[in-house]
Structure 1
Amino acid sequence: MVTNAATLGRSGVHDFILLRASAIVLALYSIFMMGFFIITPEVTFEIWHGLFSNLAMQIFTILAVVAVLFHAWIGIWQVLTDYVKNTMLRGLLQFLFTLTLFVYVAAVLLTVWGV
């Protein structure tokens, strides 16, 4: 088994399960949001604010963003491992993508929780 800093001691089975679980969460969130836009005739600020003022929606949104983080992290690692052979370049790209993902998560947390 190949291990490095990017895998954090995980196995391929662990990655497989995380990818499938995050895909399910993202599918459910997408279906919910499509349903919201289909059944809501006009989306105003008040309606949008009301939707995201609900604690369940805030938790669901954070869960979806964490699912995006896991999904993208594993996907980026797999793609870079397959296609970028230069170790220094791969490490730099992984760092930049990971930093970007964490900035996205922080932005969503600040937006959803209104801190």
Structure 2
Amino acid sequence: MAANNRIGSKRLVVGAHYGLRDWLAQRVTAVIMAVYTVILLGWFFGAHDFSYDGWASIFAAQWMKLATFVTLLALLYHAWVGVRDIWMDYIKPTGIRLFLQALTIVWLLGCAGYAAQILWRV
């Protein structure tokens, strides 16, 4: 009877073991996005020129382009963790789940490339 007991140090552990890493990644990326939002709102409400030129001048500085791109990467990783968890939780057939995960990765990489193109065009 005791040999079949799977409680304790000899417990059979299964799963992908994403728990703590994903939880921490979601919190860190959320903090990055929150800090960026505060900076952007402060810059926006401190501006006196509410035109395209005024908006473009915010992103003219190289540090602001870099901060924006880092925030976008944080947003994309944040989205990847969330969507991947949704696919793993609700799509049981492995082939369909793999296809949806690959499609999500392609979509997010496309968004990152498009964002870089937009940022460095200003």
TM-score (norm 2): 0.78
Deviations 1:5-57 (CA, angstroms, capped at 9, x unpaired): xxxxx742222221111000111122223333333355212111211011111
Matching of residue 77 in structure 1 with residue 90 in structure 2:
no
Question: Bigger radius of gyration, 1 or 2?
Answer: 2
2:33 match:
26
Structure 1 residue aligned with 2:59, among 39, 48, 52? Answer: 52
CA RMSD of aligned residues (A): 1.9
Residues paired across the two proteins, number: 109
Answer 1 or 2: which has greater helix percent. 1
Matching of residue 108 in structure 1 with residue 121 in structure 2:
no
Where in structure 2 are the equivalents of 1:81-100 lying within 5 Å? 81-100=88-107
Where in structure 2 are the equivalents of 1:8-19 lying within 5 Å? 11-19=18-26
Contact 2:33 2:74 in 1 (8 A): yes
Aligned-residue sequence identity (percent) comes to 27
**Paired AA for residue 99 in structure 1:** V
Structure 1 gaps, min length 5: 4-9
Structure 2 gaps, min length 5: 1-13
1:61 match:
68
Which deviates the most, 42-51 or 97-106?
Answer: 42-51
Distance in 2, matches of 1:50 and 1:78, equals: 38
Contact 2:32 2:71 in 1 (8 A): yes
